[in-house]
Amino acid sequence: MKLKELTRTREPKFGTFLLEFATPGIGYLLAAADCDFVLVDLEHSGLGLETVKPLLRYLEAAGVPAIVGLQAKHNHFISRTLDVGAEGVSPPMVASADEVREMVSHVKFPPQGRRAVSMQVGHDRYRAAPVDQAVADANARSVFFPKVETAAAIEDIDRIAAVEGVDGLWVGHYDLSASLGIPGEFDNPVFTGAVDRVVAACRAHDLALGRIVSSVAEGKALIDLGFDFIAYSGDAWILRDTLQAAIISMRA
């Protein structure tokens, strides 16, 4: 299923977070693990576009849709990442509906936005087509998933969710808790109240809602709350934790 189609159903979708492993086999490994999607991180991983460009092709070959978490929320990162072949982008630290509306304008080609037009490159798989049709097709398949991880975004969450062109919201829980002045206190009523506001906004506007989780129990709880994109842990942590548990057990 394409990423856009996944955002239009509220059934739970499961995946993981890629920040280390960009090998040719990674797409097929994720597909074999029955992942519905993957979140590729550029913000914290050190990965750049020259690495992500082939990585997107590996994922595409295996049929695993990808959301790319951007380094920053500026147009330079939004449009270039889309041009190399990303179908979904997720900029960090959004703060207001006006800011989100500006970012959407760089996701969409005219007349829906003002993204610079480039055809027959990564985003349209190098296919030749009439420009009007290629532009319309690109606008239809692009997915925008801004990260809600600031106190300012929570205060403007209803207006953010209402912006045309937003397909879903992604809660950056560590940054959000820090911005609220309670870093890591995910059971604090201030944090849970903020998340409740995001959930309500997504329900009101029929948006997808995602988050990274560190345990199966946490994932199940978020599904019950209204999240439908669940990224279980991340590649580096899954390797570390699984290997560590096995070694500890054998040593014992």
Domain map of the chain by residue range?
3-251
Q: Residue 24 above 90 pLDDT?
A: yes
- Predicted confidence (pLDDT) per residue in 108-148, tens digit: 999 999 999 988 998 998 999 999 999 999 999 999 999 99
What's residue 119's pLDDT?
87
Catalytic residue among 44, 123, 173, 205: 44
Catalytic site residue 123?
A: no
Tokens standing for residue 74: 């500026």
Phi, psi of 23 (to 5 degrees): -80, 160
Cis bond upstream, residue 91 (ω within 30): no
What's residue 61's pLDDT?
97
Angstrom CA distances, 170 to 122, 202, 209, stand at 25, 10, 6
Query: Where residue 97 falls among pLDDT bands split at 50, 70, 90?
Result: very high
Q: How much is the pTM?
A: 0.94
What's residue 36's pLDDT?
98
Query: Where residue 9 falls among pLDDT bands split at 50, 70, 90?
Result: very high
- Predicted confidence (pLDDT) per residue in 208-251, tens digit: 999 999 999 999 999 999 999 999 999 999 999 999 999 999 99
Phi, psi of 197 (to 5 degrees): -65, -35
- Predicted confidence (pLDDT) per residue in 47-81, tens digit: 999 999 999 999 999 999 999 999 998 888 999 99
Query: Where residue 88 falls among pLDDT bands split at 50, 70, 90?
Result: very high
Mean pLDDT computed over every residue of the chain: 96
What's residue 183's pLDDT?
98
DSSP result, 108-146: SPTTT--PPP--SSGGGTT----HHHHHHHHHHH-EE--
- Rg of the chain, C-alpha, whole Å: 18
What's residue 135's pLDDT?
94
Tokens standing for residue 224: 């019950």
Segment 39-48 mean pLDDT: 95
What's residue 1's pLDDT?
80
CATH architecture of 3-251: Alpha-Beta Barrel (3.20)
